[in-house]
Structures are given as structure tokens and as C-alpha cells.
Structure 1
Amino acid sequence: MSGSGMPVVTGLGVVAPTGMGTETHWEATLAGKSGIGPITRFDASGYPVRVAGQVPGFVAGEQLPSRLIRETDHWTHMGLAAAEAALADAGVVPAELPEYEMAVVTSSSSGGTEFGQHEMERLYLNGPSWVGAYQSIAWFYAATTGQVSIRHGMRGPCGVICCEQAGGLDAVGQARRLVRRGSRVVVTGGTDASLCPYGLVAQLSSGKLSGVDDPERAYLPFDAAATGYVPGEGGAMLIVEDAASARERGATVYGRVAGYAAGFDPAPGSDRPPALRRTIERALADAEVGPPEVDAVFADASGNPGDDLAEARAITQVFGPRGVPVTAPKTLTGRLYGGGAALDVATALLALRDDVIPATAGPARLAPGCDIDLVLGQPRDGELRTVLVLARGYGGFNAALVLKK
């Protein structure tokens, strides 16, 4: 199958600290109800980071067959549940479509760290014969893509993008490319779940996590008191398909994937500027929209002073000082790595649907140099037709996605 393809999003599946289900997440986001709290998945009392965004009420046994639970990591469990919800939301029945016209491309950052930790414990405590065969695949970055593909009989192009937080936008960008090349339906997005001792220690090595124990003060992007970010688990899966196909099915369309670009920062110490400004400009050009047409920006919002200042400068260089409303609803969930940008895309599409920009919970006093119009306090109503979603990944990855009503 081939075609020009206008990619649109017709289904959303959310598994997030703000709640299970798209509407639950959206209601919590608009209400400013945080999903960040003390880590309960393990005893974190001896660690320098003790708060995180955890998905409430997620029981894998209520979502998946027991065989899949034994063979896969918690991250994949959530990805499978989110994909199932997104397909149902879009009204897509995979069994009714040609298997080679359905594709899967997801974002992954840490892989199956919790599964891997348990297998390493068995190795060290009991010996090699105690290590399960599924260790070879459950940790692997492409595990969720593979399991979604197998579970729903999707045998078209399948892949995984590993660009940390930026990967969620890169996956949607790749989904758009696949639709333009003829794929009828693409399951895309991402989840992450690295709230285990092994996973948390790996995250601490970046030096970017907040050590503040107060859930309301731990993650304050763009704020003068910012100390880093809070980790989290979960994410979102989306159904991207050709607009003509969606119309034929009578599907509800959340929005159009209008523009996308990716970049990579120069090496530390280089005299070259960060790539984010150029990435934003290229995404807008790809969407054929100018800065005045953008109604809101969903920021990456690192929570680290240097990163926040660099992002704020990139935004103001493109849009002017306080030239566009900026929001970071991820302050309610923490940064979800491979799932974070995908959740931002889902939230931005809901904002387009309901003509409302959710507020950024937490920040109170912008840091010097962060001359942006950060939406604080209450959601901001107003007609939305075009939004920009930004994401950056550890090591220099950055991406920008333009969504249109």
C-alpha cells in the first residue's frame, strides 16, 4: 500500500501517575492533582531521591494474561495496557485489517531494568541456572514494540527509538513517516518504569535528579528554586493513521501531526549554540506555520537551572519574550523518560480538543533569564489551533513536534 498520507491521531491510551485512562489523566491535569509522592515500589529511605511519580492502581494481572506478565517487565506491562486502550479509543480492530499495513514504533529509555535486576539477584545469589530465559528479551529496548506487534498481529514496519525523553517525539515523527509511506495504522508512543534500586541508581548518575523530599517542591522547572527533576513511570500510546482512512472509518480525530524535527546538541565546551532553537524553527517550517500561529508550547522543563535557561532562551529567540504561553504539566507526573514526551503529546492533543492550556504546578518565581509566559495557577482558556511540544534527552537529543487541530 502506498500514499501521500496526512497523519492524524485517532486514539489515546494513558497510563500515568495522574491516573489510569485518558480522561482520568486529563481531569487530574486540569485540576492540578499531582501524582508525585514518596516512592513505595521499594524501600527508598537510604537513597538520595525518595519521591517519584508512580502509576496508581495499576495491576498487571487485571490487564494482561499471566504468561505475558512472567515474560516481560513492568514497563512493557504498562505499554501493552496503554496500546490496548489506544486501539479501543480509536475503534481499530486489528483482526479486521491487513497485518502488513499495521506498524508499531515506540520510545524506550531504560528498558526492563526491574526484570533485569531480579534476574541479576538470582544470578548472584543462586547461580546461572536460576536465571530465566526471558532475561534475554524482557530487558531489551524493543521488547514493548515486539510484544504489541505480536499481541495484535501487526507485521508491518516495527521499531524502537532510544533517545531518552526526546524519543517520545521521535517515535511519533517516525509514525508520521510510516503513514506517509503507506502504513494504514501505527501504534506509537512510549512508557517507562525504572523505579527499582538498580534503575534509580542508574538515573542518579546523570546528576540531574532532585533530592528534595517535599513532593510539592521537588520539581520546579524554570523556577529560581529549581533543584532538578523527579523521576516517574508510565506514559502514553497513540494511534496514528491516514486522515482519509480515519474519515472512512468515521473515527474521532484528536489532531494532525503537522511538523516534526530532531536535533543534537554540540559537544560540551563547544562554542556552537544548543540545537533546540534550530530544531524548533525546522519543525515550524515543516508544518508550514510561523511563530505567531503557535498558540501554546509544551516545554521539556528539565528542572535543572542550566537546562531550563537554555530552553527558555530557545523559546524566546523564536517567539520573543513572553511571546507564547508555555506550560509543563509533567510537574504533576515527574519526567517519564521514554514515556514522558508521548504523554505530553497526548496532553497537548486534549488541550487542542478542549481549547484549554493546563497550568504548570509548583513554580512560583521564574529564574533570572527565563523570560517566558509560563502558565501558572489555573488553566488558561482560549481557542487553540496549533501547539508545539518540545523534548530533550540526556546526552544532547532534542526534538520538536507541531500538532494542529
Structure 2
Amino acid sequence: MTTSTARPATGTAVVTGIGVAAPNGLGTKAWWESVREGRSGIRPLTQFDTDSYPAKLAGEVPGFDDAAHIPGRLLPQTDRMTRLALYAAAEALADARVDPSTLPDYAAGVVTASSAGGFEFGQRELQALWSQGSEYVSVYQSFAWFYAVNSGQISIRHQFRGPSAVVVSGDAGGLDAMAQARRHLRRGTRLMISGGIDSALCPWGWTARLAGGGLSPDDRPAAAYRPFAGGAGGYVAGEGGALLVLEDAATARDRGATVYGAVTGCGAAFDPTGDQGGLRRAAEAALTDAGISAAEVDAVFADAAGMPEADRAEADAIRELFGPYGVPVTAPKTMTGRLAAGGAALDLAAAMCALRDQVVPPTIHTTPAPEHTLDLVTGTPRPAELRHLLVLARERGGFHSACVVSSAG
């Protein structure tokens, strides 16, 4: 049973820590510097031989030494996805200056997003089953592949005994997880870790991506993923994401925490028949939840599918909300590829850093088609007075999510 250990909630959820594992930077500082400078992490995939596959580019997290970041006892029982998540969670807690051992029982919880679970681990154990027999399958296969394993391993490592969950809504999951974490804060939980980390850069995961359609066959890193461009031809897949420490504003204030910004509005919509206004409805719900109008939004972090029909639907939703060229739009995903459940969480982290630095990060390698009427921030960061930012995310099949983040001042 979860019990409240905090003072009465203010209803405002603030972000006090960020942990990042991204294709263009391991760690929040390195990643954000790359984002501001427009440095891409998209390059030829190295984790397996892609010669026989039509898509050969990916966003891989660079320089991650498993043994340096993960306790040895955890290495046999974790997938790469979980190792990256454990790294990001530890960084987020350190950034928030939180020592989990000082928290009361049931004071902290974890809600993460996942789209595929530990695919690489699962592939390895299936190969052992097929080639050697059932006695060669690891006992850890029982949970290392599972969608909820990141939440579980983070909770165990940091001894969090509060609410724990996983959200499975694909690329929209990072925003949906944040919405659920915010609800737990309102019920009295003192601290939540939330966001998403994904990794499925193995032959099994790659084949699933190819079967789903949309992966760009272009082998040029600067040309393969060009959302909103007239010649957009698909997306590049990647791994990684972000985890954020979320606290009630009163709790953060009481302990003198540094605050990036507040999660002030969340919205979601589902339309299994296609994108028939679902993204606009999700955005409107988030704006209503935040208590602001579209005119008060200072920039939009786009979902940026990289496929013509989906790009057109998103551009239409943005135009319906803000008017032609009505708001600056950015797509930092162009530097990382689409990270499944980690992508929207990384956009949330970028939005928080943008609020802190009062700058809209750039979109790279693309120029929007004129019919989209988007004020896409390209080339270099755009200094701006930022108070409210809107983050959008979608998953094929009908999931649409939106989140408003606001300056804490």
C-alpha cells in the first residue's frame, strides 16, 4: 500500500533532475551541447552487420561502457536498454541532488515507457534455445525482455517502494509516462522518476522495424531523415532517451532544489482509423489542462515522423492551432533519429533545457515544404523569451499525446 509522506501537493509538478543517453551525447551536458550546436548522432549502424538489410543508418549511443556504469552482478540479467536506463536514472537523481537512502519508505516511484522491451536480450536467448536447447536459456529471460523491466530495475537499485508502472504506447509513451507520474505526485508521492529509454538495434528488432514500414533506405546520414521536407522518405531509428526526476513544487521548494521547469499540461487522444485530428485534440487537451491558450505557446517540439502523410497531418494540426507560421517549431529528433519510447522523453528533456537557457534548439538536415507553412527553426538555435512550450508525440495505430512544460518562475 502506498502512503503519503509529503506535505499537501500544490498540484504543480516540476522537473529537478535530467538523465540522458542519446545518440549525439552520453549524459545531459554532452547531449545538450550537441543539440545546441546541431551535431548529429546518426551514422552507419555498428551493432550488427547491416549488409543484407535495406536500411543501414541508426542513432547509436556512443561511448557507453557497460562495466563502467553498471554493477557487475546486473550485467548478466540486463538488456542494453535497461543498462542505458539505469545510467540515465542515476544521472537524473544526481542532477536533482537526491540521495534515495534518505527518502522515507513509499516516498518515491518510477513510471517508464517502453515500446519493445529487451529485444536484444530476447534475441540472444532465442538463438540459444534454437541452436543449443532449453537448458542454455538464461533464467533472466523471464524478465529481461519485459516491457516493465526498466521500472523494476530502477526501483530495485534505488530502493524505491512507491508507485511503479510501465506505459506501452510506442513513440507517444514518454509523454504518457510523464502524465501518469504527475498523477502520482498529486496523490501524495514525493518524487517520481519518469520518461523512456529504448533500444532494439539488433537483427530481430531491425527486422520488426522494417516490417512496420517507414525506415529510410537512404544511406546518407544528412539526407535519410528529413521531416517536413518535400522529399521526405522515411525515418532513421535510434536508441536511448531520457529520464527525469519529477517532484511536487512544494517539496522541491522545501529542499532548495534547482528547478528546470514545470509539467503544467498533459493530453492524449486515440484514433485507430488514422490521424483524423487526434494530434490537435491531444494538444488542445494539454493546453486546457495547463490553463493557457494557443497564443501563449512560445515554441512547439514536433513529433516529426519523416513520412509525407504523417508530416502533413502534423503540420495541419499545428496550423489549425497557431495559424500559418504562427509559432516556432523545432525537431531535435533530426539529430538522433526516432528513439521509440525514448524519443518524446528526450524532447521533454530538450524542452526543459530550452526553458533554462531561453533558446529554441535547431532542426538539422531539412527544409520544410512551403505547403506546411511551418516556422521551422533550422541551422542555429533561436534565442527567445520562453515561458510555455508544447511537446507533441505520436505512435502509428492511433496514439497521440501532448505535453505543456512551463518556466518555473
Q: Give the TM-score, by structure 1 length.
A: 0.98
Give 1:60 shift.
1.1
Query: CA contact under 8 A between 2:85 and 2:197: conserved in structure 1?
Result: yes
Find the partner of 1:357 among 345, 357, 360: 360
Q: Give the match for residue 50 of structure 1.
A: 56
Deviation of the 1:108 alpha carbon: 0.2
| Residue type at the aligned position of 1:285 | T
Q: Aligned equivalents of 1:122 and 1:21: distance in 2?
A: 34
User: How far did residue 368 of structure 1 move?
Assistant: 5.1
What are the equivalent positions in structure 2 for 1:224-303 lying under 5 Å apart? 224-268=230-274, 273-303=276-306
Q: Does 1:163 pair with 2:169?
A: yes
* CA–CA distance in structure 2, aligned partners of residues 182 and 120 of structure 1: 42
Kindly indicate whether the alpha-carbon contact (under 8 Å) linking 1:229 and 1:335 is maintained by their aligned counterparts in 2. yes
Among 95, 98, 113, the alignment partner of 1:92 is 98
Residue in structure 1 matched with residue 85 of structure 2 by the alignment: 79
Deviates more, 1:294-303 or 1:372-381: 372-381
Give the secondary structure class of the aligned counterpart of 1:15. strand
Deviation at 1:37, TM superposition (A): 0.1
Is 1:116 the counterpart of 2:119 in the alignment?
Answer: no
List gaps (5 residues or longer) in structure 1.
none
2:315 to 312, 317, 331: 312
| Contact in 1 for aligned 2:116/2:147 (Cα 8 Å) | yes
Q: Does 1:376 align with 2:401?
A: no
**8 Å contact from structure 1 (residues 101, 184) kept in 2:** yes
The AA in structure 1 aligned to 2:264 is: A
Q: How big is each residue's C-alpha offset from its partner over 1:245-303, in whole Å with a ceiling of 9 and x where there is no partner?
A: 111111100000000001112414xxx92311111111101101111110000000000
Question: What is the deviation of 1:393?
Answer: 1.0
1:332 and 2:335 are equivalent in the alignment: yes
Q: CA deviation at 1:220?
A: 0.1
Q: 1:216-227, aligned counterparts within 5 Å? A: 216-227=222-233
1:363-385 deviation per Cα after TM superposition (whole angstroms, max 9, x unaligned)? 12x23531111111111111111
How does 1:139-158 map onto structure 2 within 5 Å? 139-158=145-164
Greater shift in the superposed pair: 134-143 or 369-378: 369-378
How far has the Cα of 1:59 moved from its partner? Answer: 1.0
Contact 1:313/1:369 (<8 A) preserved: no
Of the three residues 30, 39, 48, the one matched with 1:24 is 30
Matches within 5 A, 1:166-185: 166-185=172-191
Aligned partner of 1:394: which letter?
A: R
Please report the TM-score for the alignment, with normalisation by the length of structure 2: 0.97
| Unaligned stretches of 5+ residues in structure 2 | none
Alpha-carbon distance in structure 2 between the residues aligned to 1:373 and 1:390: 16
Give the counterpart letter for 1:296 in structure 2.
A
Correspondence 1:390 to 2:389: no
| 8 Å CA contact retained: 2:315, 2:372 | yes
Do the aligned residues in 1 keep the contact of 2:273 with 2:397 (CA within 8 Å)?
Answer: no
Find the aligned partners of 2:214 and 2:189 in 1 and give their Cα distance.
39
Over 4 Å off, 4+ runs: none
Q: CA deviation at 1:230?
A: 0.2
Q: Superposition RMSD on alpha carbons, in Å?
A: 1.0
Amino acid at match of 2:106: Y
Q: Does 1:201 align with 2:204?
A: no
Whether the 8 Å CA contact 1:189–1:236 is kept in 2: the answer is yes
Alignment partners' CA distance in 2, 1:72 and 1:398 = 30
